[in-house]
Structure 1
Amino acid sequence: MKKTLLWIAALVVGAILGVLGLDWLNATADFVATVYTRLFQLLAVPTIVLAVITTLATFGSKGSGRIFGHTLTYTLLTTIAAAALGAVLYVVIAPGNVAVTQLTTDSSPITSNLSYYDHIISIIPNNIVKPFLEGNVLSLLLLAFAVGIGLSKLPESENKSIITKGLLGLQELLFLLIRWLIWTLPLGIVAFSAQLSAQVSAGVVADSIGKYVLVVLGGNVIQFFVVLPLFLLARGLNPIHVLGKMMPAVLMALFTKSSAATLPVTMDTAENRLGIRKNIARFVLPICTTINMNGCAAFILVTSLFVMQNGGTPLTLGTIALWIIISVVSAIGNAGVPMGCYFLTLSLMSGIGAPVAILGIILPIYTIIDMVETAENVWSDSCVATMVNHDLAEKE
C-alpha cells in the first residue's frame, strides 16, 4: 500500500512539473524517462528468455503444456472480446470522415517498408544471435521454447543439472537487478508523468478525430473496468483485490508504454503481492506479454476501420467481422514494445492500399492511446495469470 501511495504521489508531482512548461525541466524529464525505459527494456529480453527456459526445464513440458493451454484459451477469449467491443462502439459512435484539407496539410506518418508477410517471416530466426540483438520477442520466445523443452527431455545427468542450475542462478541475479531498479522507480514515475503533462498542455489531443479517440479509449476503459473483471468474477475471483495487488505493474505499463519493458515489474508484483505461484507467473506472464494484446487488438480494428472508411471502403457486417479476426491475429503477433500497434496497423493499411496519410493525424495523440492500451494489456496479462493459477490450483 505504501509503495502504491508513493507511486501516486510521484505521478502528481510529475504532472505539476510538466504543467509548468519549463524547457529545462521538460528536457530533464525526457532524459530520465528515456533512461528508465531503456533499462527496463534491457532487462526485459533476458527476463523473457530465462523465465520460459527455466520453467520448461524445471517443471517439464507436460505440466507446461497444460499451463500454456489455459493461457492460450484465456488470451484468445479476452482478445476477441476486446476487438468485438471496439467494433460495437465504432458502429454505435460512428466516427465521421476526416476533412480532405487535413489529409493534405498535415505531416505524413512515419513509413515502413515491411509488409505483414515480412513481419511474420521475421519471427522465424535464421541466426541465434540476431533475435537478441534486435530484441525480437517472438523469435526469442521460439528459441526459449526449443531450449526449455530440449532441456526437459534430456535424461537426468550432471551436465543437465549444471546447465539448469546456471540458468536459475542467472535468473536470481536478474531479479535482484530488477528489485534495485524498482526501488528507484518513483524518480522514473515523476519523469514519465511530467512528460505526459507537458504533451497534453501543449495540445496533443486533436479535436478533429474526437469520435475516433472516444471509440478507442472508450473501448479500452470498458474492457479494463467491465469485461476483464467479468472474466475474473466468472472464475470466482475478486477483481478489486487482483487490481489492487497488480497496481504497480499497471501504473508502470501506463508510463513506459511497453508491456515488455514492464514485464520485470509485472512478474515481481504477481509473485510477491498477488501470490501467484512462481512456476505460473514466470511462464504465463512472458507468454502473455508477447501474445495477449487486448488493447492492441482494439486499436488495430478501430484504426483500420477508420482508415478504410476514409478511403471509401464500405464497412459491411462481413468486413467488420473479417477485420475482427485480422486484428486478433495481428495483435497476437505484435511485440510488446512502444508504438508496436501503430506500425503494425500502418503495415496492414499499406498492404491493402488504404489512405495511410490519415495515420499522420493519429500519430500526435498516439502517445496517450499507447499508454492506456499498454496498461490494459498488462492488466489483462495479470487477469490471465490469475485465472490460470486459480484453474490449475483446483486441479491439483
Structure 2
Amino acid sequence: MAAETKKKKGIDITVWLLISMIAAVVVGLVVGEPMKNVQFIGDIFFRLIQMTIPIFILCTIVKSVGGLTPQTLSGIGLKGIIVFIVTTGIAAAIGVSLGVTLQPGSGLENSSIVANASFDGEATAMMSIQDTITGFFGNNIVASLSNGSMIQIIIFAVAFGLVISFWRHSHDGECMAYDLCCEVSDLLLNIIRAVMKIAPIGIFCYVSAMIGTLGMDILLPLGKYFLVMLLGMAIMFAIYFIVVPIYCRVSPFKLMKKMLRMTVTAFTTISSAITLPTAMEDAKNRIGIREDIVDVLLPLGVPLNSNGVAIHMAVDALCIAQMYGVHFGPNELLTVWVICTMIAFVNAATPGASLVSLTMMVPALNLPMAAIGIFGGLEYPTGASRTPLNVDGDVFAAMLVAGPDGIDHEIFDTTD
C-alpha cells in the first residue's frame, strides 16, 4: 500500500525544476538566439507568481505580527535583526576577502568585454544613500503594492500588525481586519501553489532564452568571476552548516535534505519572494521551527537579509575595479564592505534585482558606469548563484533565533 501511494505521488516538483533547468541550458546553448522567442512564456510565469507576492507578504506579516503580543514580537524581531546584521556583515567580508585574494577581474583589462561595454546612464536613476533610506518609507501603500516596494510594504505591514495586536489585546482577541488578512494570506498561498505547478515550463523558457542570448562568448571570459562568487557562497553555507546544527542540536545532513526543496526553488526561480511560501512551509513542517518565529522572520528576511547579495556585490565591486585598473586601499575596501552590507538590506528580491543593486553600488564607489552594462546582463547566472543563500540564510537566521528549544525535534527527526 505504501509503495502504491508513493507511485501515485509521482516525480517531485524539485526534480522537475532541476530537469527543466538542465534542459534549458543545453537547448539554449545548442539553439542559441532563436530561443529568445519563447522568453515571453517565462515572463508570464514570473508575472503570475509576482502578482500575488506583495499582497501575500503584506497579509502574512500582518497575520504574524497581529497574532503576537508586543513583548513576544519585540523579542523575536530584535533578535532576528541582530542575526541579519551580523550574518550579512560576515557575508560581505567573505566577498571582499575573496575579491582581494583571488583577483577575479585580473586579466580582463584588455578584453573585448571591457572594450565593448556600454551603459545608458539615463536608463536608470542614480540613487544616493539618503535617497535609498528615504525610499524605505512610502506615502501610499497602494502605490507601494503596485510597485512591489518590499521594504515600504513591510514597514506598513509591521505598523498595521502592531495596531491590530494592541486592538485584539483590548477586544478579547476579536478583529475583523486581522481575520481578513489571515484568510487572504491562505487564499493567495493556494494561488501560488497552483502557479508553481507550471514552474518547470516557465523556468525552461526563461533560462533557455537567457542562455541563448548570452551564449558562451561572454560567460567563458568571466568564468573566474563566477567561480570566486560560488566559492564565497560555499564558504558562507559551510559556516551556517557548522554553526546552526551545533547550536540547535540537529543533524547537518538531515538539515541539508530538508532544505533541498527551497534551495532548488530559489536556484531555478532566482527570487527570494517567489520561494518564500515554500521556505515557510518547509521551515515549519519539515524542520520544525516555531511557527511564530517563521511567520515573522522569513517575510522580513526577503528584503532585509540577503547574504548572497552581500557576497555578490562585494565580488562585483572588486572584479570591476580590477577590470578597469582601479586600486582599492584599506579605506576603500572598508567602504566596499559597508556599501555592500547596506545594499544587501534593500534587496529587490525578484528577477532583475542585480541591475538595481549595481546602479546603487557602482556610482557610490566611483567605478566606471560602463561596468553595469557587463554585469547587469548576467542576471540569471548571478541570480541562480546568490538566491539559494538569500533564502536559506533566512531559515538559518530563524533557527538561530529559535535555538534548540524553539525547534520541534520530533518533526525534524521524523519528517522526510
Match of 2:245 in 1: 233
Post-superposition CA distance 1:178-224 (Å, at most 9, x none): 222233333334434534553565544041x4433332232123323
Q: Confirm whether residue 106 of structure 1 aligns to residue 117 of structure 2.
A: yes
Unaligned runs of 5+ in 2: 1-10, 409-416
Residue identity opposite 1:234 in structure 2 = I
Equivalent position to 2:40, from 31, 48, 70 = 31
Is the Cα–Cα contact under 8 Å of residues 109 and 325 in structure 2 kept in the other structure?
Answer: no
Distance 2:213 2:17 in 1: 20
Residue 317 of structure 2 corresponds to residue 307 of structure 1: no
Task: Describe the SS at the equivalent of 1:129.
Answer: helix
Tell me which residue corresponds to 2:200: 186
Contact 1:50 1:167 in 2 (8 A): yes
Q: TM-score, normalised by structure 2?
A: 0.84
1:147-186 paired onto structure 2 within 5 Å: 147-154=160-167, 155-157=169-171, 160-186=174-200
CA distance in 2, matches of 1:24, 1:360: 22
Aligned pairs for 1:189-228 (under 5 A) are: 189-195=203-209, 197-199=211-213, 201=215, 203-207=217-221, 209-224=222-237, 226-228=238-240
Q: 1:358 to 1:49 in 2, by over 3 A?
A: same
1:322 correspondence with 2:322: no
Equivalent in 11, 14, 17 of residue 7 of structure 1: 17
The one-letter amino acid of 2:242's match is L
Q: Which residue of 2 aligns with 1:357?
A: 370
Q: Distance in 1 between matches of 2:152 and 2:124?
A: 20
| Matched residue type, 2:394 | D
Count of aligned positions: 392
Aligned match of 1:120: 133
Q: Distance in 1 between matches of 2:251 and 2:46?
A: 31
Report if aligned partners of 1:109, 1:363 keep a CA contact under 8 Å in 2.
no
Q: Secondary structure at the residue paired with 1:267?
A: helix
Secondary structure at the aligned position of 2:219 is classed as: coil
Q: Deviations over 1:356-389 (max 9, x none)?
A: 2123222343421122111221121222223333
Counterparts of 1:276-287 in structure 2, within 5 Å, are 276-287=289-300
* 3-state SS of paired residue (2:125): coil
Q: Deviations over 1:23-74 (max 9, x none)?
A: 766533x233212211221121112111111111111222122111222222
Q: CA deviation at 1:133?
A: 1.2
Higher alpha-carbon deviation: 231-240 or 286-295? 231-240
Asked whether the 8 Å contact 1:228–1:383 carries over to 2, the reply is yes
CA contact (8 A) 2:348 2:356 kept: no
Distance in 2 (CA, whole Å) between partners of 1:25 and 1:357 is 27
3-state SS, counterpart of residue 59 of structure 1: coil
1:97-155 alpha-carbon deviations (Å, 9 max, x no partner): 62286544333266422313322211111223211111100000110011001111125
Find the counterpart in structure 2 of residue 21 from structure 1: 31
In structure 1, the partner of 2:8 is none
Aligned residues of 2:42 and 2:202 also touching (Cα < 8 A):
yes
TM-score by length of 1: 0.88
Name which of structure 1's ranges 339-348 and 35-44 shifts more when overlaid on structure 2: 339-348
- How far 1:331 sits from its partner (Å)? 0.9
Residues 180 and 101 of structure 1: CA distance in aligned 2, closer, same or farther (over 3 Å): closer
